[in-house]
Homo-oligomer: A and B are copies of this chain.
Amino acid sequence: MLRKKINPVVVKTQKPAHIGEEMDLLSIKGFSGNAVAAAIKYQDRLDLGLLFSERPATVAATFTRNKVKAAPVLDAIGLLGSGIRQIRAILVNSGNANACTGGRGLEDVRRLRRWSADTLNISKTDILVSSTGVIGELLPLDRIGAAIPGLVAGLSTDGIERVAEAILTTDTVKKTAFRQIDLDGVRSGIYGMAKGSGMIGPNMGPPQATMLAFILTDLKVSPDWWQRALEKAVKVSFNRIVVDGDTSTNDTVLAMANGMAGNDPIGEANLGHEIEKILSELTMDLARQIVRDGEGATKCIELNVTGARSDTDAERVARIICESPLVKTAFFGEDPNWGRILAAAGRAGIELDPERLTLKIGDVELVKNGQGTGTKAEHLAKKIMKARDFDLTLDMGLGDGCIRFLTCDLSVEYVRINADYRT
């Protein structure tokens, strides 16, 4: 134990991998993947992916809290609710959300599980399905079914990166992250992929954004700790990002831990805190990639709200600011229009004393005691806003409540993308 306390985790953080960049997936044992073009919505585009673990993997999951849940979400909640704690595979498609498709939609998910399981020679409760895409259309089961044999036949370690590509919709870049972990010589890793660009205002809870994320690790974990660790990581990352604030019917994060690294099981009593931190960093990394690739986004803004009466108050204020169309268009215009930010905070429905508000963009104090600090500061702030990424800090001067949110700007391109999405 002492040895572990002295040098518990050696984490070699690698840069997020992007398309065309290599990363050491082989260091995570026992996972493979593949993706094919099944013509779900478009021709000649990867849209069907499979992630597979050689051995049963402990699964943790969070799903959208939207009351209108897609069929694959309902199906997965049902399976996990029935006591399933280990799975072998995740089947995922883009191009069709299988949401608002009623009983038929649910039957289709079960059929996909059965077909995939038969081909993989696993149980039909060893696989979960995720979908993203247009709401209200039935899945083209025939085309998906026809693609499954080739999907399974082509499984490989390198193929995992193809899945990260297959889940994209309006995304312009692939989103992956990787952390290598050395536990006293036991080499292991956590890999994550995510998609999400629009309908991003995730609000996920325990088995209960459309952002999808899949996390794979060969760590051995305690199942209860793994679920709690994922919930904590989602809470501080995906649940604190806003592109448009529209919580999706399909948001899903699934995390598989197959134990093949052979370590002592991670849990509250064994390195739980350290690995939670790494997992949260990984999900935050993916969350930031989602915001940076938000539909039409030209800016990624980190908003820190501090000095609120409670963290809940801080969250409410941060969310309202991050969703405000006037604030987001000002970001797009590189206009340090702090009045809009204060006005947004003021309508958050929480206690607030305007005369205690302080606002900084980067290191530039734009507002002090609720009033602007002058044109020089605005000029400096405008320069900061020319960058792709910048920080905002709103201090409310009332207490210790704080939170960090990520948001993007609202651009002309966002409107173009979404006025055209289905046509």
Contacts and interface: CB of A to CB of B under 8 A. Distances in A.
A246 B327 CA distance: 9
A164 to B, nearest CB: 24
B248 A343 contact: yes
B136 A423 contact: no
Contacts of A347: 65-67, 201, 203, 246-247
Contacts of A342: 68, 100, 135, 249
B335 A422 contact: yes
Nearest to A243: B325
A414 B416 CA distance: 12
A419 interface: yes
Contacts of A415: 329, 332, 410-412, 414-415
Interface residues of A, number: 66
Nearest to A350: B67
A223 interface: no
A35 B149 CA distance: 76
Interface stretch (A140-148, A224-232, A364-372): A364-372
Nearest to A336: B422
A99 B357 CA distance: 14
A108 to B, nearest CB: 13
Given A67-B352, A347-B66, A412-B412, A325 B423 contact: no
Contacts of A262: none
A196 interface: no
Contacts of A244: 324-326
A210 B391 CA distance: 28
Interface in A56-90: 65-69
A11 interface: no
Contacts of A357: 68
For the complex, would chain A's binding face be called helix, strand, loop or mixed by DSSP majority? loop
A102 B369 contact: yes
A423 B333 CA distance: 9
Nearest to A333: B419
B325 A135 contact: no
Contacts of A345: 67-68
B343 A247 contact: yes
Contacts of A247: 343, 346-347
A97 interface: yes
A101 B354 CA distance: 10
A344 interface: yes
Nearest to A347: B247
B340 A135 contact: yes
A256 B135 CA distance: 50
A420 interface: yes
A69 to B, nearest CB: 8
B372 A330 contact: no
A245 to B, nearest CB: 7
A100 B370 contact: yes
A103 to B, nearest CB: 9
Contact of A332 (B100, B343, B419): B419
Contacts of A355: 102
Interface of A: 65-69, 97, 99-102, 134-137, 198-199, 201, 203, 244-249, 324-326, 329-330, 332-333, 335, 337-340, 342-348, 350-352, 354-355, 357, 367, 369-372, 410-412, 414-416, 418-423
Given A67-B347, A248-B343, A411-B415, 14 more contacts: A67-B350, A68-B343, A97-B339, A102-B370, A102-B371, A135-B337, A136-B339, A136-B371, A201-B347, A246-B324, A246-B326, A246-B340, A249-B343, A412-B415
Report, nearest first, the 9 A-B pairs whose CB atoms are least far apart.
A135-B339, A333-B419, A68-B346, A329-B418, A247-B347, A66-B346, A67-B346, A244-B325, A136-B372
